[in-house]
Structure 1
Amino acid sequence: MESSEGGRFLRLVSEHGDDPELLEGAVRAARGRSEMVAALPEEETRRHTRALLRGVLAALADGVPGEELLAAAERLGSDRARQGVPVAAFLDGFQAGRAHLVRTLIADGRRRGVPDALLLDGVSRIDEINTALVHRMVHAHRVAELEMARTTREGRVQMLRQLLHGESVPVLAPLDPDAEYHCVVSDVSDPAVAAGLEARLAAAGPALCGLVDGRLAALVARLPAPVRTGPLLVAAPPARPGAVAPLYDLGRRALRAGAAAGLAGLRELAGLALLTVTEAEPDLGGLLASGLLGGLDRDDPFHRELAATALAYLGHGGRIEPTAAALHVHGNTVKYRVRRFQELTGGALLDPSGGTAVERTAHWWWALRHWLAAPGG
């Protein structure tokens, strides 16, 4: 652009620097193009439009966007994110304002006899500035969204920690203080693995998940379908948020017991009751093992095989075929091992009269688990 000719365009630009009609026209265009922008206070739109117009006109005169203009673009993107206006919605308004500016300069320039070539060159420079501003606005919008999401999540996870630790705190969204939730605990500490589990837990219904005491925990309205693979998860019965702390403690105890037993997948807390209690009293388990299994030698592999068969036999309610299937042996092998086990220990695993004998069966189960857990030869 020759300096003499270019001066005509610059004079045109400078005369619109504080043009109230240009400002109000751009404001109307932005609000008319985007419903979400129009829902904001009009002065809010005017404030940003004024700063951007002045900056763009100054950039046309100077040749490059100044830091003040770029900062105004960042403020617009950040403010719209905090106001809940999506990128597409506020960019619609911004581009409408840009179009109004171009139309105004072209129409006024033609009335003044400014050559079309100069006007076209000016529009090209406006588009270059426009691109730089859009990049700044979108980046600032994204940064603000991430900051808000992080702040919101941190607040929610802090509430989860306080509830699980028994602190008295207001119950806020996404939880309902009057609704009931399952407390789910896990031993997962890897954030990447935890994120995958969070998605699975939240897919079944309203949920609040986070790392509590270094491990993933959650309050979920509905449990996902049970599986027996993947990380061990222990789910307590539903309770209101203010009453989940005791269940969280029980769940952590059950988690330790389940992990020691080699369990995996989603498990109900009540189903781990006996395992949890016996795991917490190893000395009693030792006494039972000494009293009931004195005829077995831990250093004898065959005796350990007998004990494992006896434990599986109890676990399958004294039924031969399910026990054999679980151990991948023939049913007669199970019968022989059970008979030999009872000969060595001098006691019947199940009540020979066919009675329930729940307490004695539990004692056998406890003693066998403790005995097998101890190292042998």
Structure 2
Amino acid sequence: MTVRAVLDNLAGQPARLDALVDRLVARIRAAVPEYATIPDHVLRRGNRQIVAVAVGHLRDGCLPDAAELHEITEIGVDRARQGISVAAVLAAYRVSGEEFWKVLSAEAHGRGASDAALLSTVEFIWQWLDVVTVAAAAAHREAEPGSYGVALRALLTRPGADTYLWQLGLDPAGRYAAVRGRLAPGITVSTLRERGLVMAVDNREVLGLVSGPDVIEPRFGTFGIGPLVAAADLHTSYLTAGRVLAAAVRLGLTGSHRLDTLRLTYVAATDQQMTHVLSSRILAPLSAKGPYGADIWRSVVSYMDSRMCVAEAAAALHVHPNTLRHRLAQFTALTGVSLRDPADLAEIWWLTVAGRQ
């Protein structure tokens, strides 16, 4: 029996073709771990479609035309959307091609096919695979930028979406911190990727993740970074990163920030209700005094910024130290807030932080 006869049997007997597909699917699952995320019926359907086309081409000794190639490569596009990397897709083609040849050659050789016929067949199989895999890789890469962002967003926002780590080329056993940011003018997300960061654009923000104490330079924009967590818990890190980013933006900060770098500044920048309470207590009495009250508040802020050193604060304001002392005394008289009470000092500090917004 010739190789052509074996191929005729495969094409004409659906049960035999299904058995071959089962074998190829098992080989792919064993050799390419990323495919563990693809449901069995989906993987079988795609592989059956490819094998049926391949058998027809082998029988006729022809390569796929443009329409057939598009139909085949659409399966690769689906894999990109499902979070499978292009490297994994190419590996799946390779191992399934090897398995297909193993089955075909064993049966054809057992039924009398000559070595010359087998050699010609294997050469054509690899030629067919070359054409298909080049097209599949190109189609996958066209779909990849969008799917990359989709995978990253799913990983960061959906609990238990850690299967997307395969597509992003990350270790599922690693620990990661979510990143949310706003890029500086003229900076693109590609600039960050070129520096090894896993980043994608999401509406007006960028989102991403890091695996250590990464510092993103201030010239790139403003970024909030959440705590390091297991991949399955990245959605919690993502929420924290968003709050840190909001605080940093309100404070006019650039660069990367975390809860442990902003500390209480984060709370002061984000708790608007408490800021309103403190403003009513401290700033309202000063506002009632017009420009004089504004001078008093500027003096208090300078005093706090100078680590409560009268001489340094007076120099910064270009006033005599006694003038500053008088203003500080007036501050206490107007507001009832003491510059010696730690609790009152904390409230003043809170308003100096909120005032940066």
Inter-partner Cα distance in structure 2 for 1:292 and 1:270: 28
Shift of 1:248: 1.6
Secondary structure (helix, strand or coil) at the match of 2:178 reads strand
Shift of 1:176: 2.4
Seen in structure 2, the aligned counterparts of structure 1 residues 316 and 143 have a Cα distance that, compared at 3 Å, is farther
5+ long unaligned stretches in structure 2 = 1-53, 77-85, 92-129
Shift of the 192–228 alpha-carbon distance from structure 1 to 2, 3 Å rule, reads: closer
Cα distance, 1:195 vs structure 2: 2.0
Shift of 1:281: 2.9
Match of 1:310 in 2: 300
- CA drift of 1:220 comes to 1.1
Separation (CA, whole Å) in 2 of partners of 1:69 and 1:212: 38
2:172 aligned to 161, 171, 177, which one? 177
In the alignment, what sits opposite 2:340?
Answer: 351
The counterpart of 1:241, out of the listed 212, 228, 231, is 231
In structure 2, what is the equivalent of residue 147 of structure 1? Answer: 139
Q: CA deviation at 1:196?
A: 1.5
Aligned with residue 347 of structure 2, among 333, 356, 363: 363
Counterpart amino acid of residue 259 in structure 1:
V
Q: Secondary structure at the match of 2:227?
A: coil
1:197 counterpart = 2:185: no
Change (3 A) 1:304 1:182: farther
Question: How far 1:245 moved relative to its partner?
Answer: 1.8
Counterpart of 2:248 (choices 258, 262, 269) is 258
Displacement of 1:371: 6.0
- Contact conserved, 1:186 with 1:231, CA < 8 A, in 2? yes
Bigger shift: 187-196 or 257-266?
A: 187-196
C-alpha spacing 1:225/1:256, structure 2 compared with 1 (3 Å):
closer
Give the TM-score normalised by structure 2. Answer: 0.53
Give the secondary-structure state (helix, strand or coil) at the position aligned to 1:233.
Answer: strand
Matched residue, 1:167: 159
Q: Give how far 1:321 is off.
A: 8.3
1:216: how far off?
0.9
- More helix, by proportion: 2
**What corresponds to 2:265 in structure 1?**
275
Cα distance in 2 between the residues matched to 1:299 and 1:149: 65
- Alignment partners' CA distance in 1, 2:66 and 2:283: 80
Give the SS at the match of 1:195: helix
1:248-302 deviation per Cα after TM superposition (whole angstroms, max 9, x unaligned): 2122122122212211112223222433323333232122122223442378456
Q: Is the 8 A contact 1:184 1:219 kept in 2?
A: yes
Deviations along 1:305-344, one digit per CA (max 9) or x if unpaired, are: 55345335435543578878xxxx6486495675344223
Which piece of structure 1 moves more, 232-241 or 330-339? 330-339
Secondary structure in 1 aligned to 2:175?
A: coil
Contact in 1 for aligned 2:184/2:220 (Cα 8 Å): no
Distance, in Å, in 1 between the alignment partners of 2:355 and 2:328 is 16
1:284 correspondence with 2:279: no
Mapped to 2, the partners of 1:367 and 1:74 lie a distance apart of: 62
Q: 1:159 to 1:298 in 2, by over 3 A?
A: farther
Query: Where in structure 1 are there 5+ consecutive unaligned residues?
Result: 1-42, 53-67, 85-136, 203-207
Q: 1:320 to 1:342 in 2, by over 3 A?
A: closer
Is the Cα–Cα contact under 8 Å of residues 164 and 248 in structure 1 kept in the other structure? yes
Name which one, 1 or 2, has greater alpha-carbon Rg: 1
Instruction: Please report the RMSD computed on the Cα atoms of aligned residues, expressed in angstroms.
Output: 4.7
Which residue is 1:31 aligned to? none
Partner of 2:328: 342
Report deviation, 1:219. 1.2
Aligned length: 249
Aligned sequence identity (%): 18
TM-score (norm 1): 0.50
Contact 1:254–1:273, Cα closer than 8 Å, also in 2: no
2:211 maps to which residue?
221
CA distance in 1, matches of 2:329, 2:253: 31
**Kept after mapping to 2: 8 A contact 1:286/1:367:** no
**8 Å CA contact retained: 1:286, 1:370:** no
2-side partners of 1:165 and 1:294: how far apart? 42
